[in-house]
Amino acid sequence: MGSGPESGLANGTRAGTAARLALPQVTICAVSSVNVAATLRALEACLDQLEVAACRLLTDAAVTPAHPDIEVVPITPIRSSAAYSRFMLENLADHVATSHCLVVQWDGHVIDAARWDPAFLDYDYIGASWPQFADGRVVGNGGFSLRSKALLEACRGPHFCGHHPEDTAICRTNRAQLEARGLRFGPRELADRFAAERSGDPAATFGYHGVFLMPQVLGADAFWQVYRELDDRGTLRRDFGAILKAVRAGPDGARRAARMLGDRVLQRRKRRAVQTKRL
């Protein structure tokens, strides 16, 4: 994959090719009440390259996917990130009948199925590694992760200490007791071939997670289409500068960057209005 603003899925990747990687032991799941259009795009990007047992969007939104293989499963609204974590730990297992579940969020999906390694399925959890930790409990990020059904069941067991964020609860707080039960976490080297996030290289991974990587992975034009459909842009705040720079370097960059800056001002005003109202 090239490093320019128009490299990525938007310009000549495996997406849309006839042959898909068959993974009959995998169910793809996404859980969301916000950015549902972008979540559908992410699921479609996965299905462009994978043939799986099932693909489920768990949402309260009234949507009809264009892709025939996406099943919409109604759930109660997910009103916060903490509620998302609770659902993932306590309820996700109910929607998975296969040995593994590929968890997808709106800002991450499969990049290249040719980078799939069957060894990914040897583990109960694998996701992009966390560079901020150095104690061996570094795998990993949950936004694009592969989890076994056995792990999903263990997460709602009586000895599991659930909290937000759910991936930290699984991979750090409870990792020792999960391993004591025989569950296995992928090693860092394998995790960094499975997915990129704050570590790993999306030019060499099976998938990715993180809105800050989207201009590189998708290309500036495709990222802009996703951005315009977002109804919740809160996750852009941390990396807003880097994302703005990438957009500015792409087609119609000055106008699009100005639009992003205007949107950010409006979001700040809305947050302040909400805070003032609460006072």
Tens-digit pLDDT profile for residues 58-89: 999 999 999 999 999 999 999 999 999 999 99
* Residues 78, 81: Cα–Cα separation, whole Å: 8
Same domain, 100 and 229: no
Question: Which of 214, 218, 208, 124 lies closest to 171, judged by CA?
Answer: 124
pTM: 0.92
pLDDT digits (tens, 9 = 90+) for 184-227: 999 999 999 999 999 999 999 999 999 999 999 999 999 999 99
Same domain, 177 and 237: no
Same domain, 201 and 79: yes
Same domain, 184 and 230: no
Same domain, 251 and 140: no
Helices (H) and strands (E) in the chain, counts: 10, 9
Report, as ranges of residue numbers, the positions in the chain whose pLDDT lies below 50: 1-7, 9-16
Which residues form the domain of 250? 224-278
Same domain, 36 and 114: yes
Pairing of strands 145-148, 100-103: antiparallel
Same domain, 166 and 268: no
Residue 27: CB atoms within 10 A of its CB come to 23
Pairing of strands 21-31, 100-103: parallel
4 lies in some domain: no
